[in-house]
Copies of this chain bind each other. A is one copy, B any other.
Amino acid sequence: MTRRRRGTQRVTMEDVARLASVSPSTVSLYLRRPAEVSPVRAQTIQAAIDRLGYLPNTMAGGLASSRSKIIGVLVPTITNSFFSETLETLEHHLRRAGYQLLIGNTEFDVEREEELLRSLMSWNPAGLVLTGFAHNRKTRALLLNSEVPIVEMWDYGSPGLDMVVGFSHFQCGRLMAEHFLAAGYRQVAFISTRFARDIRAHDRYEGFRQCMEEAGAHVVKKELAGRSDTRETGDIMHRLMVDEPEIEAVACSNDMVALGVMLECQRQGWAIPHRVAVAGFGNQDFTGSTVPPMTTIEPPRQAIGENIARLLINRLRGESCDQTLLDLGVRLIAREST
């Protein structure tokens, strides 16, 4: 076999131009602003494009125009319906505006975030979307020195670098506490995935604890070793039942943890909500079907994506935005588990 030809002799804009008997720059213009090319030529050019199966070279275009149609996005993990739904919505809206998402997984690690950010920035992105406010010094410096529009998402409350689209997890915790207090629960627990891994879960806990303690209630805190694991959750709930038998209600850092708690209750014969109340966070699809249906909080997963897309597109169009700090809020969905 001969040395592989360089990229299948890619069809270039010049080839198209030659076939259409126009200059390359006319083809370029046709591709970018078709209306500015005479209808006749437009047709000839399109025909040539189809005939040759021409695909533009994005890299060349990006280099020449020194601006790309890339939006870099950094999330802790895509294996989490919260972020993946936001990503999907964001992708959907940004794509129709001609943008490409470049996604990186920070794995809840700020050093890794910095590394990924460098790699993203080497693409010369048109915009950047990060999760939360926790970045290391270098990341912050990198971001502040660039003129790229930045959105920090899925959180609200701290001062952002540029634009912010999310909601307050602290308020979220308070909301659940208020719900518990209204139902008369005083002996309560908060079971969470590992705080070090998920700062936002910690904020929800803090809001919850503060509000409960203001009312003179007592909060027992339990942390899982890692991510939501129903088995480990079951064990922890079991321990809680033994150690704190007088417990009246359990708030969980997410629905999956709450499911694990409910299943353990079922196993131990603790009636929900009579023996103990249980609440989650996330309003995942299954929460409406558990026995009994689970009380939970609905975060604005998709709204976050939509709003980021809107803000970013506006900014990139050069329109000055009025509202660049968005608290999208949450909704408590009270069901029979509390």
Contacts and interface: CB of A to CB of B under 8 A. Distances in A.
Interface string A58-84: 111011001110000000011101001
Most chain B CB inside 10 Å of its own CB: which residue of A59, A79, A105: A59
A44 interface: no
A234 interface: yes
Interface string A274-304: 0000000000011011110000000000000
Given A78-B84, A88-B77, A259-B286, A57 B63 contact: yes
Contacts of A123: 58-59, 100
B7 A67 contact: yes
A263 B234 contact: no
Interface in A188-246: 228-231, 233-234
A319 interface: no
Contacts of A288: 230-231
Contacts of A48: none
B289 A230 contact: yes
Contacts of A234: 289
Interface string A80-92: 0100110110011
A59 B68 contact: yes
Interface string A1-25: 0001111101000000000000000
Nearest to A3: B318
Nearest to A56: B122
Contact of A102 (B56, B100, B124, B229): B100
A121 interface: yes
Contact of A84 (B60, B84, B92, B263): B84
Interface string A252-289: 00001001100110110000000000000000011011
5 contacts: A8-B147, A58-B124, A78-B78, A260-B289, A264-B289
Given A4-B147, A53-B142, A77-B88, 4 more contacts: A55-B118, A231-B285, A234-B289, A264-B289
Q: What 9 A-B pairs come out closest when comparing CB atoms? A: A230-B289, A230-B286, A59-B62, A58-B122, A59-B63, A79-B84, A59-B59, A78-B84, A8-B147
Interface of A: 4-8, 10, 53, 55-60, 62-63, 66-68, 77-79, 81, 84-85, 87-88, 91-92, 100-103, 105, 118-119, 121-124, 142, 145-147, 228-231, 233-234, 256, 259-260, 263-264, 266-267, 285-286, 288-291
